[in-house]
Amino acid sequence: MNNNETLDPEDWDKMNSLAHDMVSDMMAYLRNVRERPVWQPVPKVTKDFFNASVPLDRQDPSDVYKEFRQHILPYTKGNIHPRFWAWVQGTGTPLGVMADMLASGMNPNVTIGEQSAVYVDRQVVDWCRQMMGMPESASGMLLSGGSMANTTALIVARNSMLPGVREKGIFGLEARPVMYCSTETHSCVAKAAEVTGIGSEWLRRIPVNGDYTINTDALEEQIGTDLDNGLRPFCIVGNVGTVNTGAIDDIAALTRLRDKYNLWLHLDGAFGALAKLVPEYAGKLRPIETVDSVAFDLHKWMYMPYEVGCVLISQRERHKAAFAATPNYLLHHERGLASGPESLNNYGIELSRGFKALKVWMSIKEHGLYKYAAQIEKNIHQARYLGRLVTSQPRLQLMADIPLNIVCFRYFVAGIDADWDQINKEIVMTLQERGIASPSSTVIGGHYSIRVAITNHRSIHYDFDLLVSETLSIGDGLYSLQLTEK
């Protein structure tokens, strides 16, 4: 054993040269993204490559990088491409890439200690608070994404509204706690109900209106029924941009119900909350400023590299009371490394946290909030543009209104008996396999639908023109084939 050996390079100059190659290659990769297919299948040779056993001996870093370029880089999901609209996923930026490199080089644990990264994290969270217009009493946390942000908020809701639950658990309560959301709410809320001990059975899924927003009359009726049955309603989860159609619940109406029945009001604004930056939506989304908590993702409609989400809690004291714990090994000191800001461990579950705030900090400084608002507004207008393209084509059918940035449509010929669900499924897979575009899919009104979620700063009108023309071309071929087979 060599007690003087480390994991640092034996040849720093060689590593520096390799690092420069990596940066140059990645900048070219980003610059030329439009020239490549959106997605391509992973070949068998690459799948077999990833079946190799764990390496026991060293390998030259240059060879490792060659393997990355051969087997990893060509077969990505493709969400940085201008025609990627599957699910709701952001595109990233060049400076964001570099920020992640800098953060990894510093490699801080951003939870405790007198260090610059903690101050950056605090400032970014406060910027997020300002973006949502929440009061100065609010606190927040950067997390991996909407799932953890929603879960964190619902832990605070549970611990705040159900006294003693942190110590005794829900079985120590006199009445069974109940939560409410619409049938259009993201599945992570059901998971949060499960992991917080509430149980998915006690998450009431309220029906929606024709525009896919929560039916507040049905919600109030269900709350009344639960109260009559001796249960303890404690939390409503509203949507600011549902995952299927981008619908925005009536936040003001939910706020009134919150006040009337003494409930916690949380908003899942994974992508839609950021529409608050757009003047057209500022008034509609102003009630966000009065809710108890809101979750949203900066790696979605702020176009940051993965991963970074945010949760904001309107009252810092309640946020801290839900998580605070100070073991002997995390004591705060007056001076030295253990001084500085309060440990972020008191505001969440994680004690180990990467420096995800740096890419947010650098990116917002690079572009400014006005430019981000303009990009979000652009995506909303692009959704409306795509909607007009769809409605102008007799063989395409718009499946839902377009309240925000999601367009759901299908290939369909009225009056003709065909397996339209299968035809549209084939259209989606063919668009992806040919590298033309990557929409996703959902079911609207019982029909398989092509779903285009636009949180892509690289998309331009040409991309939507191509999507429609290729959808028609592929659909016409599949429709003719199905008629022939019949």
Cα separation, 192 vs 157, in Å, equals: 11
- Res 299: pLDDT: 97
- Report the pLDDT averaged over residues 415-432: 96
- Res 331: pLDDT: 86
pLDDT above 90 coverage of the chain, percent: 93
Dihedral of the CA atoms 299, 187, 185, 124 (nearest 10)?
Answer: -30
Q: Quick: pLDDT tens for 329-341.
A: 888 899 999 998 9
Task: Return the structure tokens found at 111.
Answer: 């939870």
1 pLDDT more than 90: no
Q: In this structure, which CATH number among 3.30.360.10, 3.30.420.40, 3.90.1150.10, 3.90.1300.10 belongs to the domain 365-485?
A: 3.90.1150.10
CATH class of 108-354: alpha beta
> pLDDT band for position 483 (50/70/90)?
low
> pTM score, two decimals?
0.96
> pLDDT band for position 291 (50/70/90)?
very high
- Res 485: pLDDT: 67
Per mean pLDDT, which range of 162-166, 341-345, 408-412, 439-443 is the poorest?
341-345
423 pLDDT more than 90: yes
- Res 2: pLDDT: 87
- Res 329: pLDDT: 83
pLDDT above 70 coverage of the chain, percent: 99
* Per-residue H/E/C for the chain: CCCCCCCCCCCHHHHHHHHHHHHHHHHHHHHCHHHCCCCCCCCHHHHHHCCCCCCCCCCCHHHHHHHHHHHCHHHCCCCCCCCECCCCCCCCCHHHHHHHHHHHHHCCCCCCCCCHHHHHHHHHHHHHHHHHCCCCCCEEEEECCHHHHHHHHHHHHHHHHCCCHHHHCHHHCCCCEEEEEECCCCHHHHHHHHHCCCCHHHEEEECECCCCCECHHHHHHHHHHHHHCCCEEEEEEEEECCCCCCCECCHHHHHHHHHHHCCEEEEECCCHHHHHHCHHHHCCCHHHHHCCEEEEEHHHHCCCCCCCEEEEECCHHHHHHHHCCCCHHHCCCCCCCCCCCCCHHHHCCCCCCCCCHHHHHHHHHHHHHHHHHHHHHHHHHHHHHHHHHHHCCCCEEECCCCCCCEEEEEECCCCCCCCHHHHHHHHHHHHHHCCCCECEEEEECCEEEEEEECCCCCCCHHHHHHHHHHHHHHHHHHHHHHHHHC
- Report the pLDDT averaged over residues 412-421: 94
Q: Quick: pLDDT tens for 55-108.
A: 999 999 999 999 999 999 999 999 999 999 999 998 999 999 999 999 999 999
486 pLDDT more than 80: no
**What mean pLDDT is reported for the chain?**
96
